[in-house]
């Protein structure tokens, strides 16, 4: 797109269906590489990716050539299909419906990258639900409690 200049930094947060801890360390790095490939194939720039066994955080420098929802549909749909085809698990893998998308200024990017890199430390002191609700509050996102990622039963 000639004469189109943008600076769009988005953090995506999404969870495994039923918040099951199915992202095992045995294939986590391979999964992250696969997701990175999806992002790069759409000409976006991956700035950070990490997560826990039940959810993933991604920071992307987005190009305005694709909608957020189309990118997330591709990431979640393609990666769940890939996990199932690779037979990493004895059960069917699915992502939970929905995701969070939060925007940042360039001056915040390094802080967000460090936050994503240190997921294990953050979750030693707070749950995914606490973290997600804090994001929604910080970004003043109005939400319906019925559709918030639920803690595993």
Q: Note whether residue 152 is domain-resident.
A: no
pLDDT at 152: 62
Contact call for residues 83 and 45 (beta carbons, < 8 A): no
Please tell me the total count of domains within the chain.
1
User: Which range marks the domain in which residue 21 is found?
Assistant: 8-147
Residue 130 has a pLDDT of 86
Q: What average pLDDT values come out for the chain (153 residues) when binned by 10 residues?
A: 86 93 96 98 97 97 96 98 97 94 97 95 84 89 80 62
Report if residue 1 sits inside a domain: no
Long-range CB pairs of 77-82 (<8 Å, 24+ gap) are 78/34, 78/38, 79/31, 79/34, 79/35, 79/38, 82/31, 82/34
Q: What is the CATH number of the domain that holds 142?
A: 3.30.70.1290
In a domain, 153, yes or no: no
Give residue 68's pLDDT: 98
Helix and strand numbers, DSSP H then E, in the chain: 5, 4
Structural domain includes residue 3: no
pTM of this prediction?
0.90
pLDDT at res. 144 = 85
Residue 57 lies in a domain: yes
Does any domain span residue 2? no
């Amino acid at each position: 797109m000639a004469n189109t200049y943008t600076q769009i930094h988005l953090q995506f947060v999404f969870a495994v269906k039923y918040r099951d801890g199915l992202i095992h360390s045995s294939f986590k790095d391979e999964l992250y590489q696969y997701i990175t490939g999806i992002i790069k194939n759409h000409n976006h720039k991956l700035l950070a990716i990490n997560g826990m066994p039940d959810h993933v955080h991604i920071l992307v420098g987005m190009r305005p050539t694709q909608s957020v929802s189309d990118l997330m549909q591709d990431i979640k749909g393609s990666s769940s299909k890939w996990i199932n085809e690779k037979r990493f698990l004895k059960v069917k893998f699915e992502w939970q419906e929905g995701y969070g998308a939060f925007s940042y200024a360039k001056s915040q990017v390094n802080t967000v990258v460090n936050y994503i890199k240190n997921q294990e430390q953050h979750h030693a002191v707070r749950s995914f639900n606490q973290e997600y609700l804090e994001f929604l509050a910080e970004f003043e996102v109005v939400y319906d409690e019925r559709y918030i990622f639920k803690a595993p039963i």
